A and B are shown apart, each in its own frame.
Chain A
Amino acid sequence: MNARGAGGVTSTPTITDVVLSAALSVEPASNGSARRSEPSVDMKFAGALTFSDDGILFVGDNHNGAVYAFEIPGEEQPGQTVPCSIRNVDAKIAELLGVRLGAVEINDLAVHPVSKEIYISITRIESFASRPAIVKISVDRDISLLDTSSLTFQKQELIEFPDGQATFHVRGAGGGGPLPRDMAKGAVSVRSLAIMDLEYYDGELFVAGVAYDKFRSSLRRLPYPFDGTQGVTAVEMYHITHDQYESRAPIRAMSVQEVDGKPQLVAAYTCSPLVLVPLDEIVDGAKISADTIVDMGNGQPLDMVPFRMGDQTMLFVTNNSRSPQVIPVDGLSGAKAVTHEDFERGPKLDLHPLMPFGPTGKSVMFEGVPLHMALLDDEYFVSLTRDAYTGDLNLDINPTFFPNRVHNLVAEMDFPRT
């Protein structure tokens, strides 16, 4: 240890010097040791879910930076699907996972295309750790834990995955400093948005999220069965509301649809543009500009569920901040792709006369907050909806011909006729 600046040194019979040392050395804080992993499948987080047409369940693991593909054979169920709902489904899941209510976070929902079983990805929270779980709900409403260790699976690690250190930038809203809720974002890893949505299309898996710690919005393209190859494409888009080109925030929800005569990714962003990306532009290493055709001016999309209504394909887009939107896919063909040159400069928020912009479809009455949705079959959606009055998280079945939820509404027709 170097001694310097030894002003005011005291001498005593046995202690000769008291000296001032050099600066304190700073050691990096140690990371907490990892919790034990699951015995056979080393999944650390069960996030985004999607099924292939023949029952491969894809699971995004934002912690490990990987996608797992589980083969789940399913038997077709005889007869018609019986509409059913489960009230307080999160409380049931907590019972099953052996934790209190509130220690269960629901990440996504998907339906097995053959068996019609409902799969829900869960984070089971303990005081200082969390573990992934996938819960299965049968058509008979039996709730069970998916035993991934008994399944044949493939794991594909994702390249250019953000490291675990990068966290969100903390900003305040409006005047004054950041509030506790703003500060909490500073502790959230960017990895939590590294896998946002999965879409299986024609032998390939598309993964929306962010790459690297620079928080670069990306689309990944992986052949399935996984063969180790994968492409990463950086995506930029013009956001009308913010009046800027954005390349960091990721696609939240997406679906491959035939638009303008070719397969295109229809993708929804936060706050809340809708863009088109032709699949043939999603090439490894490319930096592409998506075509912005819609901007809602607000909201954070959650799920985009294609369904048939009459002879039309529609997209049911759920959102955590407003009613779901039903968008006819036909209406997207021929839509003008806009840039900053198409508008006056400056932000255009919800109340701007221009908003919502483009072929937005219609917002539909859906009482409560639909957190996640999937298509059960041609006739029904399944939704996880937080009830507007009780706050209960309910698993509901909703008809596709009437894509609404009206559980607590009392209208003219509900009154007794005199």
Chain B
Amino acid sequence: MRMNAYKTLTGSTPVHRVDDPDLLLPRCVDDSVVLRLAPGEADHHPTGGCQRLAVFVGSADSYHEQRLPVAGRDERDGQFLRFTPAFGFVAGQEYVVRTRRSGESHQLTEFRIPREVAAAPALVTGVYPSGDVLPENLLRFYVHFSVPMTPHLASDFVALRHASGRADRAAFMRFKQELWNADRTRLTVLIDPGRIKRSVATNLDLGPALRNGERYALTVDEGWSAADGSSVLQSFSKRFRAGGALRERPNVGRWGLRPPRPGTREALVITFDRPFDRHLLDDALHVVVGDGQPVDGTPHPGDYETSWSFTPDEPWTTGDVRIVVDDTLEDVAGNNFRELLDRDVGHRLALAATPTHQHKQGTKND
């Protein structure tokens, strides 16, 4: 438990004091404020109450006699007067305690209960895909934040900009709901598939959002407020170059494998044939042995999501190890092992002739 920094002020003249031995300040939100009364004082004021001890929201400077004290319970316990707020304290918020003792003017003591989670300022902590070169048919970005963010504002702040500085306001899909994770620290931004898919209306009208060889930035403007209102975002920019499109399904035949040595906890390393979706990667690869028993360990996506390593909890034993890949794992362009997000319409017959894919003959462009 951390000690609270606080200062004590007497009357209206700020006097910083290191400590007040008779005043115990709360250290967590469910705590109380306790005032120890002098022996004679306790007898003279059997009921105590907010005349003796009161807590106000705000700094000592904001205190005045007309302020309303925080509602709560006053209790006497021998020589101690205890105040417990009805709703607990709010972490990170400033408070001032007013104490009055017999024959003295009031004394003000400020305190603040540290937030459980460090009060990190709102920042973009990362964007995926993390590579510097992204395929021109890229489907989605993930934007990670240091703190939960205020919802329904993403389209005001997140933009795709060409290197010339021009923002493409039609680049991203606008859904009825923004795509957040549960604690609203990760936003999924989808490039409008109508811009990606060749020869559909938006693609023809506006052109693709990204063109091979051009430079772009995913930008998040400053001013977006954290969900708790405690801070606003600083601006962020992820620069990248658009590269060639990913037009083939992922092919495990082109993956590289670096097997670990038995008896060690060396990482098993796979290098992919392309960058994969960062968050689908979390659940898409499993290491199993024998007839499917999972191997416990820790996976690490790496190299801009173009590789994946797995460190087992226990040393490898001799025998077959299989990596089971979820066939819905998507690359950064939304292609999975079963189908492409955008097929060339002219190749329909050729695709239909591929025996293992007969169940998916239609094209998404139809």
Contact = CB atoms under 8 A, between A and B. Distances in A.
Interface of A: 1, 3-5, 7-10, 12-24, 29-30, 32, 92, 94-100, 102, 124, 126-128, 131, 133, 143-145, 170, 177-178, 180-184, 186-187
A100 B337 contact: no
B323 A15 contact: yes
Interface string B299-337: 000000000000000000000111111111000000001
Contacts of A12: 257, 259
A16 B324 contact: no
B47 interface: no
Contacts of A124: 87
B151 interface: yes
B284 interface: yes
Nearest to B227: A127
B177 A186 contact: yes
A102 B225 CA distance: 14
Nearest to A147: B86
B21 interface: no
Contacts of A144: 71
B338 interface: yes
Contacts of B320: 14-17
Nearest to B270: A18
Contacts of B177: 170, 183, 186-187
B174 interface: yes
Interface in B55-108: 55-57, 67-71, 85-87, 89-90, 93
Interface in B13-67: 55-57, 67
Given A128-B148, A170-B177, A17 B322 contact: yes
Given A100-B93, A170-B176, A184 B152 contact: yes
A76 B66 CA distance: 27
B328 A92 contact: no
A99 B254 CA distance: 59
Nearest to B260: A14
B57 A98 contact: yes
A128 B183 CA distance: 9
B322 A96 contact: no
B262 interface: yes
Contacts of B257: 10, 12, 15, 18
19 contacts: A1-B292, A8-B253, A10-B257, A14-B260, A15-B257, A15-B259, A18-B257, A19-B322, A20-B252, A21-B286, A95-B57, A97-B71, A98-B70, A144-B71, A170-B177, A177-B176, A180-B156, A181-B152, A183-B175
Contacts of A183: 152, 175-178
B111 to A, nearest CB: 13
A131 B323 CA distance: 49
Contact of B252 (A8, A29, A128): A8
A21 B327 contact: yes
A94 B58 CA distance: 11
A196 B87 CA distance: 26
B182 interface: yes
Contact of B262 (A4, A14, A92, A143): A14
Given A9-B253, A29-B182, A96-B68, A18 B325 contact: yes
B292 A24 contact: no
B327 A16 contact: no
Q: In the complex, which of the residues B69, B153, B260, B327 has the most CB atoms of chain A within 10 Å of its own CB atom?
A: B327
A133 B320 CA distance: 63
B103 to A, nearest CB: 27
A94 B227 contact: no
B187 interface: no
A16 B322 contact: yes
Interface of B: 55-57, 67-71, 85-87, 89-90, 93, 148, 151-153, 155-156, 174-178, 182, 227-229, 251-255, 257, 259-260, 262, 268, 280, 283-284, 286, 288, 292, 320-328, 337-338, 356
Contacts of A4: 327
B292 A96 contact: no
Contacts of A15: 257, 259, 268, 320-323
A24 B321 contact: no
B45 to A, nearest CB: 21
A3 B324 contact: yes
B259 A10 contact: no
Contacts of A131: 87
Given A1-B292, A18-B255, A24 B284 contact: yes
A21 B268 contact: no
B125 to A, nearest CB: 19
Contacts of B337: 5, 20
Given A8-B251, A180-B153, 12 more contacts: A18-B257, A21-B324, A30-B182, A32-B182, A97-B70, A97-B71, A98-B86, A99-B57, A126-B90, A127-B227, A177-B176, A187-B151
Given A21-B327, A23-B328, A180-B153, A96 B71 contact: yes
A186 B176 contact: yes
Given A13-B259, A23-B328, A95-B56, A18 B87 contact: no
A13 B261 CA distance: 11
Which of A4, A8, A22, A30 has the most B CB atoms < 10 Å from its CB?
A8
A7 B326 contact: no
B259 A14 contact: yes
Given A20-B337, A24-B283, A95 B67 contact: yes
B315 to A, nearest CB: 13
Contacts of B87: 97-99, 124, 131, 133
Contacts of B356: 5, 7
A180 B322 contact: no
Residue among B71, B155, B322 having the largest count of chain A Cβ atoms under 10 Å: B71
Contacts of B89: 98
B252 A95 contact: no
Q: By CB atoms of chain A within 10 A, which of B85, B259, B322 has the most? A: B322
A4 B156 CA distance: 44
A15 B252 CA distance: 13
Contacts of A100: 57, 93
Contacts of B253: 7-10
